[in-house]
Amino acid sequence: MHKGMFIIGLLLVTVMIAIPAVLVNQAESPSLVEQGTQHEGAVNQSKPNVDLSKEPKVTIYLTNEKRKITLPLERYIRGVVAAEMPADFHVEALKAQALTARTFIANRLAKSSSSDMAKWGARAKGAQVTDTVQHQAFLTDRALRANWGDHYETLSERVNEAVSATGGEVIQYKGKPIYAAFFSTSNGYTENSEDYFTEKMPYLRSVASPWDRQSPKYEAEQTLSVAELAQRIQKYTGKQIAMSAATGSGMIQVKNRTPGKRISQLQIGDQNFTGRQVREALGLSSSDFTWRVKGKDITFTTRGNGHGVGMSQWGANLMAQKGKSVQTIIKHYYQGVAIAKEDWK
């Protein structure tokens, strides 16, 4: 064989072996996986609405895995939207969820507020949020592949579209990101912020949300014994209830309701409580509830699901199905706001 041809052949063989080896080494790089830049589902940025050069990164503490990952903000938003809202919801509702998710983290980053991370211990140090509902639910791309199975590509494309379409945008009140509270399903109305939380926020006002009656989470029932009711409330509030003050359904008396039609104050036996206290102590879906007593048991019927402040997710979806845009949805649930690009600093 000619010497020149032999050398060329040898070089070709060497290249054929080297290229796959390099690709394998890159794909298995532990530093890439640890930093969360692999397997986290790329958002479609073919027509990005956000300047990626200014996009901040978010460090999330995965509470079950007890580890941190760091992602570009828009990939974090993707994981939140997919975790917080069914991916088969109308795309305009998914866009609304993307806006609330991005607004939440923008508000948190602007305030440099991460002192509440201490409860998760040393492993969470340096993280800005968890993957829990205390902040925002979040799922990694690996978890989404497992959850969605054969529907992964279709559902992923829907979420990516919503995130990309709203890229870089947040909900603002007087030029600043709002506290973008949201919940599953209303009882027909949302709550004023001060009627469930402590702070009065001008953009979190009670509004009608009649569409929610079509939500599968609109009504629920829960039964427990009267003795268990007293035990749970005492454990949660520290107040011991004397049931001798009343019997049957009369053992509970509603004192007043909020503008959002939920129970604000009520009396059980000889003690007074807020609707929120009873809801959280008993694990009820909503603080809009009625009850009936049969023998030693009490059955609560709730309307709505969640605290009721801000955007109703099912309301947003049902509004979208009726042809409402993301802008209309957002400005209905958050009063006096604007949707604008965030100036990441």
Instruction: Answer yes or no: do 91 and 45 share one domain.
Output: yes
Asked whether residue 28 is domain-assigned, the answer is no
Percent of the chain clearing pLDDT 90 (strictly above): 74
CA gap 180, 172 in Å, rounded: 9
Beta bridge partners of 219: 303
User: Residue 303: which of 209, 193, 221, 181 has the closest Cα?
Assistant: 221
In the prediction, which pLDDT does 49 show? Answer: 52
pLDDT band at 111 (very low <50, low <70, confident <90, very high): confident
Instruction: Answer yes or no: do 262 and 319 share one domain.
Output: no
CA gap 112, 290 in Å, rounded: 42
Question: Quick one: how far is CA 103 from the chain centroid?
Answer: 12
How many other CB atoms are found less than 10 A from the CB of residue 303? 21
State how beta strands 263-268 and 271-274 pair. Answer: antiparallel
Instruction: Answer yes or no: do 174 and 267 share one domain.
Output: no
Asked whether residue 23 is domain-assigned, the answer is no
**pLDDT of 125-181, one tens digit each?**
999 999 999 899 999 999 999 999 999 999 999 999 999 999 999 999 999 999 999
Supply the angle between the helices 141-148 and 152-165 in degrees, to the nearest 10. 130
Angle at 134 between CA 216 and CA 97, to 5 degrees: 50
Instruction: Answer yes or no: do 113 and 198 share one domain.
Output: yes
Instruction: Answer yes or no: do 74 and 178 share one domain.
Output: yes
Instruction: Answer yes or no: do 265 and 334 share one domain.
Output: no
Asked whether residue 14 is domain-assigned, the answer is no
Residue 302 exposed, middle or buried by CB count within 10 Å (0-12, 13-18, 19+): buried
Residue 10's φ and ψ, nearest 5 degrees, are: -65, -40
Instruction: Answer yes or no: do 46 and 122 share one domain.
Output: yes
Number of helices and strands in the chain (H, E):
10, 14
Asked whether residue 21 is domain-assigned, the answer is no
Range of the domain at 144: 34-213+308-341
Beta bridge partners of 220: 302
Instruction: Answer yes or no: do 70 and 169 share one domain.
Output: yes
In the prediction, which pLDDT does 304 show? Answer: 98
Instruction: Answer yes or no: do 284 and 314 share one domain.
Output: no
Instruction: Answer yes or no: do 322 and 180 share one domain.
Output: yes
Asked whether residue 224 is domain-assigned, the answer is yes
In the prediction, which pLDDT does 54 show? Answer: 74
Domains in the chain: how many in total? 2
Residue 153 exposed, middle or buried by CB count within 10 Å (0-12, 13-18, 19+): exposed
In the prediction, which pLDDT does 246 show? Answer: 52
In the prediction, which pLDDT does 20 show? Answer: 42
**pLDDT of 281-333, one tens digit each?**
999 999 999 999 999 999 999 999 999 999 999 999 999 999 999 999 999 99
CB contact set of 322 (below 8 Å; sequence gap of 6+): 211
pLDDT at 194 over 50: yes
Instruction: Answer yes or no: do 205 and 228 share one domain.
Output: no
For the chain, report the end-to-end CA distance as a whole number of angstroms. 65
Instruction: Answer yes or no: do 84 and 225 share one domain.
Output: no
More confident residue, 39 or 58: 58
More confident residue, 269 or 47: 269
Structure tokens that stand for 186 in this block = 């209303």
pLDDT band at 19 (very low <50, low <70, confident <90, very high): very low
Flag whether the pTM goes above 0.85: no
**Residues found in the chain:** 345
